[in-house]
């Protein structure tokens, strides 16, 4: 637990995981979910990192006009499987296909980050990448995971904080990135912006 920051940060996301990561780090949050339609951002012919950044920036820009004096944080997490972008599954069938694929070999979890403050023209867009080395899952384990429902609304159809070591052999990079927000990167960016005030 870090010291409390008095400046309010606007989180353009309804993700309970992102909220928890930032709150535990001591940030004072305003939560306002972005209403962008992610289906309007095609995944073909775009690099996974750029795609995540595009969505993060769109989310931040959607909410920022309501808070021109404050830092607005947009984020989007995807999975890069051999250059193919994998987001949240639509249904259990898609979740099964995704999980069967992802837990066969290493894959990347990418979170795009966008920080905007309208009044001083601040716009920072970046990303963080974590390589996940999965454990081989049996058909029974995949079935149990699908029944549990923890795949819903999760990029790559799994949540590391809920399944922990059950699915993962090791990580290269930020653990919180896999949870939906790379705290180390976000903290360094926010601290620089807040220090300028």
pLDDT at 2: 47
CA 63, CA 69: separation in Å to the nearest integer?
Answer: 12
Q: How far is CA 133 from CA 30, 78, 99, 145, 176, in A?
A: 35, 16, 13, 18, 15
Total length of the chain: 197
- pLDDT score for 156: 62
Residue-level pLDDT at 194:
85
User: So what's the pLDDT on residue 24?
Assistant: 94
Distance CA(169)–CA(147), nearest Å, equals 22
Annotated domain spans of the chain = 8-195
Residue 92 neighbours by CB under 8 Å, 6+ apart: 146, 151
Class at the top of the CATH hierarchy for domain 8-195: alpha beta
In the chain, alpha helices (H): 16-24, 48-63, 92-102, 139-148, 160-163, 175-179, 183-195
Q: How high is the pLDDT of residue 96?
A: 80
Q: pTM (2 decimals)?
A: 0.86
Taking the C-alpha atoms of residue 77 and residue 89, their distance in angstroms, rounded to an integer, is 13
Pair 66, 12: CB distance under 8 Å: no
Q: What whole-number distance in Å separates Cα of residue 170 and Cα of residue 166?
A: 11
Q: Cβ neighbours of residue 69 under 8 Å, at least 6 residues apart?
A: 117, 118, 119
**Contact of 26 with 9, CB cutoff 8 Å:** no
Residue 165 is predicted with a pLDDT of 58
Tell me which residues are annotated as active site.
76
Nearest Cα residue to 173 out of 104, 93, 106: 106
Which residues does the chain have with pLDDT short of 50?
1-2, 162
């Amino acid at each position: 637990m870090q010291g409390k920051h008095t400046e309010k940060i606007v989180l353009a996301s309804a993700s309970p995981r992102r909220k928890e990561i930032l709150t535990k780090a001591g940030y004072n949050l305003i939560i306002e979910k972005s209403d962008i339609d992610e289906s309007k951002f095609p995944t073909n012919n775009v690099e996974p990192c750029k795609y995540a950044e595009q969505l993060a920036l769109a989310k931040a820009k959607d909410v920022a006009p309501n808070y021109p004096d404050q830092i607005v944080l947009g984020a989007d997490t995807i999975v890069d499987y051999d250059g193919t972008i994998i987001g949240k599954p639509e249904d259990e069938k898609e979740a099964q296909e995704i999980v069967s694929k992802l837990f066969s070999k290493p894959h990347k979890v990418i979170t795009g980050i966008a920080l905007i403050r309208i009044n001083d023209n601040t716009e920072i867009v970046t990303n963080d990448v974590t390589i996940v080395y999965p454990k081989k899952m049996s058909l029974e384990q995949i079935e149990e995971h699908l029944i549990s429902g923890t795949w819903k609304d999760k990029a790559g159809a799994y949540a590391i904080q809920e399944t922990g070591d059950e699915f993962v052999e090791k990580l290269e990079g930020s653990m919180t990135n896999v949870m939906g927000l790379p705290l180390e990167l976000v903290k360094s960016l926010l601290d620089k912006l807040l220090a300028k005030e």
